[in-house]
Chain A
Amino acid sequence: MGLGTMNLDKPPRRKFHPVYLTLLLPYIALLCVPFYNVIEPTLLGIPFFYWWQMLWIPLGSLCILPVFLRGEGK
C-alpha cells in the first residue's frame, strides 16, 4: 500500500463480521441472572444456579473459537 492511498480520516479497521456476535452469547447467558437463579433442574445434586454458570466456562471458550479461527487464516 502506497502512502498516497492512506486516508487519515478513515483509519484502517478490521471489518466487522457477524461472527463477532458469538462473543455476546456468554454475556446474555450470564447477565440474565433471574433466568438461572433457580434450584431445578439439578444435575448430580448440583442446583441449576451452579451448574449453569459452570457450564458456561467451556461454552465461553467455544464462543471465542469461531472468531479466533477467522483471524488465524490471515
Chain B
Amino acid sequence: MSMAPNAVTLTVFLGLFALVTVVGFFAARWRAGDLSELHEWGLGGRRFGTWVTWFLLGGDLYTAYTFIAVPALMFGAGAPGFFAVPYTILMYPLLFVAFPRLWSVAQKHGYVTAADFVRGRFGSRELSLAIAVTGIVATMPYIALQLVGMQVVLAALGINFSLNLPGFGAVDMPLLIAFTILAFYTYSSGLRAPALIAVVKDLLVYITVFAAVIFIPAQLGGYGAVFDAVPEKTLLLAKGVGSNLGAEFAYASLALGSILALFLYPHAVTGLLSSSSRQVVRRNAMILPAYSLALALIALLGYMAIASGVRTDPQYAAGFAAFGNNFAVPALFLKMFPAWFAGLAFAAIAIGALVPAAIMSIACANLFTRNIYKEWINPNCTNAQESFVAKIVSIVVKFGALIFVLELKSTYAIQLQLLGGIWMCQTLPSVLLALYTRFCHPMALLAGWASGLIAGTWMVSQLAFKSSTYTLNLFGLEVPCYAAVSALLLNLAVSYGLTLVINAVSKPVRRDETRPEDYL
C-alpha cells in the first residue's frame, strides 16, 4: 500500500501502545496471587469487582473486529448491519437471569470452564469433551478476526511492512511484533493483563466514539444529512414479498441467535466467572449496555463514512482495494480527524484487538487444560503443571491464529467465525438449559449437539459460506432464519426426543454432583 505514515498519528499510536505493554507486564503484580494455580492465572483469582468486570467484559464482548465490521456492514449493506444493536440489548436480561446461577455453581465446585460444569452436572466426560472442543474450535477464528481488525488499522497507519521469513513467506512485521508482546504478557500475567489493559482501551474507545459522533456529523451537516446520503433502498429492511417473511424476520432471528451464542462462548464465560460475586454479575447486566450505546454510535460511523465520500476519494482507494468495506472507518478517521486524534482512535481499535485476543486465548487454554489435558491425557497432574500447560496453550493458540491470518485469506477467518457462532449455539441445551434442568440424558444431548452441528454447517454450506441466513420452507411459508436458531431447534428436538426414548426403555442412573441450592 502506498499510504505514507503521518508522524504525529504514528507517535500518538506508538506511545499508547507502549503504555499498555507496560501495563500488561505490571498486571502480574496487581492483586497478586499464586500464578501457578489455574484459577489465579486463568480467572484472575475470581476477585474482580463490579468495575473491573465491567471493563473486562466490555473489552471482551465488544471486540475490535466488531468496531471495524459492524460499521463496514452498515457502509455496505445498510440497515441489516444494525442487528448488532438489538442483539447487544437483548442479551442482558438473559445474562441477568441465568449467569448468576452459573457463577454460584462454579464457585461452589471450583469450575473454571463451562465444560467443567457439564462434567459435574451430567457426569459425562464425552459430553464435556464435546463442549470443550466446540468452544476451542469456535474461538480460534474469532481470535484470527481480531488480527484482521488490527491489520486494517496498521495499514491505515501506513506501517504494514512485511519481511520475508524463511518458510512463511512475506510476514506482516508490526502484526507479528504486537502479537508476540501480547503473548508474553498473557503468559506472565494471565487474565489480570487484559483486565487492566481493558481499562485503558475502553477509555480510549469512549473518547473516540463521543468525539466522532459529535465532531463528524457537525462537519457533514448534521445527522439529517448523514442519513440522506444513505441509499433509500438500504435505509430500512426489505419487506417480505408474498409468502416470504423477508429480511425483517431474518433480522430478529439473527439478533436472537447471536445472543444465545455469545454467552456460551468461552471468553464470555471466563470473563463472567472471574467476577468476585454473583452480585457483580447482576450489576453488570445493568451497566454493560453502556457499551451497546457506544456500539450503536460506532455502527452509525458506517453511514458517516458514506456521507463523507471516502469511497470515491483516490487517497483511500488502495485501502479499500486491500480490505474492502472494512476500510471505511479507518478512512473516515483519517479524513475527518486531526492527525493526533486519528492516532488515538487507531490505538483504541488496535488495543481493542489485544484485550479480546488475550481473553479468548486464556479461555481456550483453560478449556484445553481442564477438559482435555487433565481429563484425558494426564489425570494426575499437579496444579503447577496444570497452570503451566494453560500458559503454553495460550501462546500456541495465539500463534495458530496469527499463522491462520498471515497464510490464509482473511475471508476464511470470517466464514469460520460465522460457523463458530452456529456451533456455539448448539451447546445451549447442555450448558444454559442445564442451569435449570438436568432432564436430558447426556447421550441424548450429545446426539442433539451433533445433529445441530451438522444441520447448521450444512445450511451454511448451501449458502456457499457467504451468509448464515438460510431460507426454510415451512408449510408453504418461506422463512429466512439464522441457521444457528433453526439448527438449535433441531438440536432441542433430538435432545428431548431421545431422552424420552431412553427413559422409556431404561432407568438411567443420574450422576449429578451439583445440588439445587448450589445455584442460588
Chain A residues packing against B (C-beta within 8 Å):
11-14, 20, 23-24, 26-27, 30-31, 33-34, 37-39, 42, 44-47, 49-50, 53-54, 56-58, 60-61, 63-65, 67-68, 71
Contact: B286 with A33, CB < 8 Å? no
Please give, as numbers and ranges, the residues of chain A lying within 8 Å of B226 by CB-CB distance: 45
Please judge, given known A-B contacts A23-B97, A60-B90, A61-B286, whether A31 and B255 are in contact too, CB under 8 Å: yes
Given the complex of chains A and B, what is the CA–CA distance between A42 and B222 in angstroms?
Answer: 13
Asked whether any CB of chain A lies closer than 8 Å to the CB of B384, the reply is: no
User: Bound state CA distance, A50 and B85, in angstroms?
Assistant: 9
> A23-B97, A24-B93, A30-B89 are known contacts; what are 18 more A-B pairs with Cβ within 8 Å?
A26-B93, A31-B252, A34-B239, A37-B237, A38-B236, A45-B225, A45-B228, A49-B82, A49-B236, A53-B89, A54-B296, A56-B89, A57-B85, A58-B289, A60-B90, A60-B92, A61-B287, A61-B289
- Whether A57 touches B237, Cβ cut-off 8 Å, given contacts A64-B92, A71-B282, is no
Known: A34-B248, A45-B225. Is A61-B90 also a contact (CB below 8 A)? no
Say yes or no: A33-B252 contact (C-beta < 8 A), given A60-B89, A60-B289.
yes
CA distance A8 to B499 in the complex (A): 21
Measured between beta carbons, the chain A residues less than 8 angstroms from B249 are 33
B contact face: mostly helix, strand, loop, or mixed: helix
In the complex, residue of chain A having the shortest beta-carbon distance to the beta carbon of B237: A37
CA distance A30 to B286 in the complex (A): 18
Q: Which of A33, A44, A53, A67 contacts B224 (CB 8 A)?
A: A44
A53 — which chain B residues lie within 8 A by C-beta?
A: 82, 85-86, 89, 296
Picked from B97, B223, B516, B520, the residue with its CB within 8 Å of the CB of A45 is: B223
Residue interface mask B84-117, A partner, CB < 8 A = 1: 0110011011001100000000000000000000
Q: Contacts A33-B252, A45-B227 given: A11-B516 contact, CB under 8 Å?
A: yes
Residue in B closest to A46 when the chains form the complex, CB atoms: B223
Q: Which of A33, A37, A57 contacts B89 (CB 8 A)?
A: A57
Q: How far is the CB of B288 from chain A (nearest CB, A)?
A: 9
Q: Are the C-beta atoms of B236 and A57 separated by less than 8 Å?
A: no
Instruction: Judge whether B16 is part of the interface by a CB distance below 8 angstroms.
Output: no
In the bound assembly, the distance between CA atoms of A57 and B288 in angstroms comes to 10
Contact partners of B255 in chain A: CB under 8 A: 30-31
Nearest residue (CB) in B for A8 is B516
Task: Tell me which residues across on chain B come within 8 A of A46, comparing CB atoms.
Answer: 223, 227
A57:B285 contact, CB within 8 angstroms: no
Q: Which of B228, B236, B287 has the most CB of A within 10 A?
A: B236
- Contacts A33-B252, A37-B236 given: A23-B93 contact, CB under 8 Å? yes
User: Interface size of B by Cβ–Cβ distance < 8 Å?
Assistant: 40
A13 touches B227 (CB 8 A): no
The answer to whether B96 touches A27 (Cβ under 8 A) is no
Q: List the B side residues contacting A42 at CB < 8 Å.
A: 224
B237: chain A residues at CB < 8 Å are 33, 37, 49
Contact A57 to B90, CB < 8 A, known contacts A23-B96, A33-B248, A49-B79: no
Q: Does B263 sit within 8 A of A, measured CB to CB?
A: no
B197 to chain A, nearest CB (A): 25
A46 to B287 CA separation, bound complex (whole angstroms): 25
Q: Is the CB–CB distance between A47 and B235 below 8 Å?
A: yes
* 5 pairs of A and B residues whose beta carbons are closest in the complex: A45-B224, A11-B516, A33-B248, A30-B86, A23-B93
Within the assembled complex, what's the spacing in Å between the Cα atoms of A56 and B82?
13
Using Cβ atoms and an 8 Å threshold, which residues of chain A touch B50? none
Residue of A nearest to B79 (CB): A49
Contacts of B248 in A (CB 8 A): 33-34, 37
Chain A residue with minimal CB distance to B100?
Answer: A71
Q: Does B251 contact A (CB under 8 A)?
A: yes
Query: What's the nearest-Cβ distance from chain A to residue B282, in Å?
Result: 6
Judge whether B93 and A27 touch: CB under 8 Å: yes
Shortest distance from the beta carbon of B241 to any chain A beta carbon, whole Å: 13
> Could you tell me the distance in whole angstroms from the C-beta of B94 to the nearest C-beta in chain A?
9
Sampled A-B contacts (5; CB under 8 Å): A31-B90, A31-B255, A33-B249, A53-B82, A68-B96
A12 touching B516, Cβ below 8 Å: yes
Of A34, A38, A50, A67, the residue contacting B96 (CB under 8 A) is A67
- Expressed in whole angstroms, the Cα–Cα distance for A24 and B96 within the complex equals 12
CA distance A60 to B295 in the complex (A): 15
CA distance A54 to B236 in the complex (A): 15
Contacts of A38 in B (CB 8 A): 236
* Complex: chain B residue closest to A63, CB-CB: B93
Nearest B residue to A7 via CB reads B516
B280 to chain A, nearest CB (A): 12
Residues of B101-152 contacting chain A, CB below 8 A = none
Q: Within the assembled complex, what's the spacing in Å between the Cα atoms of A37 and B252? A: 12
With a cutoff of 8 Å between Cβ atoms, the chain A residues found around residue B313 in the complex are: none
Q: How far is the CA of A44 from the CA of B285 in the complex (A)?
A: 30
With a cutoff of 8 Å between Cβ atoms, the chain A residues found around residue B287 in the complex are: 61
Cβ of B292 under 8 Å from chain A: yes
Residues of chain B within 8 A (CB-CB) of A27 are: 90, 93
